[in-house]
């Protein structure tokens, strides 16, 4: 019996989980809570390292390949990585994985798994229980029995029994994020499930349905694979070839229009962790109904979600609130308004605030960078390189960098010149030039970097010169 191939989807930004989730460091790569180092992605990968499952395939934006590789290394988990150069939702990513597996085995079983959900229970057993339906050519969607009338989830309605299978049932209809009265009526009537985003199917079945339902996307994804390139760690789809592909989820392109689609129950505690209230709902609570994460003191507070990061957070006399503290931003809202966090994100985007995209402290493929201070025209950063890693500094005509080595040793390469670096050494990377910093193999190296903005000024004789701003 062949193993199921987990396809872990790492797209999405998780805007409703700001300030934890940022566009350059989205929620799937963040810690689930402040009491553990386990990220959403870690938990997803580990959940499917079970008998009956092959090593995972990970579909991720090209911008986050290094993060995926680092977190896979944390788990010592081999995986095949598909890098997407442009955002095209889940449909093209799932098709790319199916086409990749079909080259060696068209009947490969694929289980599509979002990387940012929280699950409590034996999810692998639920998936394997439905494999017979997938082997027979059905597209199995996993539905969660609803606990309450959630308006932020899609619903799948049971269409009755299948003639030859007991592990899955027909699908009657799909209802996307209904108003509360409709969600309540669906639950009262019975037979409706929350759409979990998990699915199971044969590679060749999905490929044939894409050919039939969206031949343009099929050709675009096939060409993106044919003209892509492979590195030691990932396969990169071709951006130009992928451009015509539909920017839609697999549900919209295939699942909702295919007669092969069936539903199987997912008998676990599940949340898509799409908003802070959802995290409160699924997490373990104290005797007052609170979920407290990190260094938190709570007095006369009930039914609340409070998450601290680097400092103590004290909450007194509050009910049904969400408090999330990070290094550079603090969110306070009520649980029933937690979905509106996306409005804050829109505001941050419109005024171009850095807090939309980055944390003050960010994990990188080579180590960690922490923003210490910034102002008009400059930024002060602390950087820590792990032993044996390399920090690339790309050409940037708008930035002049001044760097001091405070701990450790390594090498600096600029153009054709390589020189040693030791504690106390200083060097500059002028605007428009590139460099590479190599950390020695024994100990980490710490750097202090000052980045100054540079402007291009045109003199009266039209000769361009570079000037430091606010220097």
**Cβ of 317: how many Cβ atoms within 10 Å?**
9
Residues with Cβ within 8 Å of residue 262, at least 6 apart in sequence: 133, 138, 139, 140, 141, 162, 165, 168, 169, 170, 171
Strand boundaries in 169-295, DSSP class E? 169-175, 192-202, 229-230, 235-236, 261-265, 269-271, 291-293
In angstroms, the CA 245 to CA 85 distance is: 12
Same domain, 220 and 172: yes
Secondary structure letter of residue 44 according to DSSP: H
Number of domains in the chain: 3
Residue 465 lies inside a defined structural domain of this protein:
no
Output the domain CATH number for residue 141: 3.90.550.10
Same domain, 106 and 251: yes
Angle 19-24-27 (CA atoms, 0-180°, nearest 5)? 50
Output the domain CATH number for residue 431: 2.60.120.10
Q: Which helix (H) or strand (E) holds 124?
A: helix 123-129
pLDDT (0 to 100) of residue 462 = 39
The average pLDDT across 24-28 equals 87
pLDDT (0 to 100) of residue 24 = 82
Same domain, 69 and 132: yes
Same domain, 169 and 44: yes
Write out pLDDT tens, residues 425-452. 999 999 999 999 999 999 999 999 999 9
Write out pLDDT tens, residues 328-373. 899 999 999 988 999 999 999 999 888 888 888 877 878 889 888 8
Residue 464 lies inside a defined structural domain of this protein:
no
Same domain, 115 and 59: yes
Same domain, 244 and 294: no
Residue 415 lies inside a defined structural domain of this protein:
yes
Write out pLDDT tens, residues 69-108. 989 999 999 999 999 999 889 999 999 999 999 999 999 9
Same domain, 367 and 323: no
Residue 63 lies inside a defined structural domain of this protein:
yes
In angstroms, the CA 107 to CA 100 distance is: 12
Among the candidates 320, 350, 380, a domain finishes at 350
In this structure, of 185-199, 214-228, 248-262, 272-286, the range with the lowest mean pLDDT score is: 272-286
Among the candidates 350, 370, 402, a domain finishes at 350
In angstroms, the CA 336 to CA 332 distance is: 12
Residue 339 lies inside a defined structural domain of this protein:
yes
Write out pLDDT tens, residues 150-180. 888 899 999 999 988 999 999 999 999 999 9
pTM assigned to the model: 0.82
pLDDT (0 to 100) of residue 456 = 54
Displacement of CA 100 from its chain's centroid (Å): 22
At 274, is the pLDDT very low, low, confident or very high (cuts 50, 70, 90)? confident
pLDDT (0 to 100) of residue 468 = 39
- Which domain range does residue 306 map to? 281-350
The average pLDDT across 257-285 equals 92
Same domain, 310 and 174: no
Residue 470 lies inside a defined structural domain of this protein:
no
In angstroms, the CA 340 to CA 274 distance is: 12
Torsion of CA 292, 297, 303, 304, to 10 degrees: -60
CA distances from 311 to 226, 293, 326, 327, 376 (A): 50, 12, 9, 8, 27
Residue 466's nearest CA partner among 396, 374, 417 is: 396
Write out pLDDT tens, residues 380-421. 999 999 999 999 998 888 999 999 999 999 999 998 899 999
Same domain, 412 and 309: no
Scored b (16 or more CB within 10 A) or e, 333-347 reads bebeebbebbebbee
At 457, is the pLDDT very low, low, confident or very high (cuts 50, 70, 90)? low
């Amino acid at each position: 019996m062949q193993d199921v191939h987990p396809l872990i989807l790492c797209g999405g930004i998780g805007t409703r989980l700001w300030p934890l989730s940022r566009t350059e460091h989205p929620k799937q790569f963040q810690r689930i809570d402040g009491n553990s180092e386990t990220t959403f992605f870690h938990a997803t990968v580990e959940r499917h390292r079970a008998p009956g499952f092959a090593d995972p395939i990970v579909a991720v934006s090209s911008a986050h390949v290094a993060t995926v590789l680092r977190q896979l290394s944390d788990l010592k988990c081999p995986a095949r990585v598909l890098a997407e150069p442009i955002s095209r939702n889940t449909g093209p990513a799932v098709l790319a994985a199916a086409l990749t597996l079909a080259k060696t085995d068209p009947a490969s079983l694929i289980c599509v798994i979002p990387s940012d959900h929280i699950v409590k229970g034996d999810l692998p057993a639920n998936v394997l229980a439905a494999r017979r339906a997938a082997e027979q050519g059905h597209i199995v969607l996993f539905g969660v029995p609803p606990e309450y009338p959630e308006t932020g989830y899609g619903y799948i309605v049971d269409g009755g029994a299948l003639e030859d299978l007991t592990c899955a049932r027909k699908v009657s209809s799909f209802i996307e994020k209904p108003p509360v009265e409709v969600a309540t009526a669906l639950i009262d009537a019975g037979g409706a499930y929350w759409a979990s985003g998990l699915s199971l199917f044969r590679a060749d079945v999905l490929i044939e349905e894409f050919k039939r339902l969206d031949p343009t996307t099929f050709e675009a994804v096939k060409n993106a694979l044919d003209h892509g390139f492979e590195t030691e760690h990932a396969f990169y789809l071709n951006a130009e070839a992928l451009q015509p592909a539909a920017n839609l989820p697999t549900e919209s392109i295939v699942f909702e229009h295919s007669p092969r689609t069936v539903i199987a129950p997912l008998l676990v505690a599940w949340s898509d962790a799409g908003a802070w209230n959802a995290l409160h709902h699924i997490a373990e609570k104290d005797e007052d109904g609170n979920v407290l994460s990190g260094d938190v003191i709570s007095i006369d507070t009930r039914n609340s979600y409070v998450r601290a990061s680097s400092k103590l957070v004290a909450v007194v006399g509050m009910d049904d609130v969400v408090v999330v503290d990070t290094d550079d931003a603090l969110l306070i809202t009520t649980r029933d308004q937690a979905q509106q966090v996306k409005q804050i994100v829109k505001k941050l985007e419109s005024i171009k605030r850095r807090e939309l995209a980055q944390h003050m402290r960010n994990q990188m493929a080579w180590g960690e960078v922490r923003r210490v201070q910034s102002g008009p025209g400059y930024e002060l950063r602390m950087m820590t390189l792990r032993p044996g890693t390399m920090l690339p500094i790309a050409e940037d005509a708008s930035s002049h960098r001044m760097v001091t080595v405070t701990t450790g040793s390594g090498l600096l390469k600029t153009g054709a010149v390589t020189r040693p670096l030791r504690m106390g050494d200083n060097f500059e990377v002028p605007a428009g030039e590139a460099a590479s910093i190599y950390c020695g193999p024994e100990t980490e190296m710490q750097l202090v970097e000052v980045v100054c903005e540079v402007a291009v000024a045109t003199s009266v004789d039209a000769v361009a010169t570079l000037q430091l701003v606010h220097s």
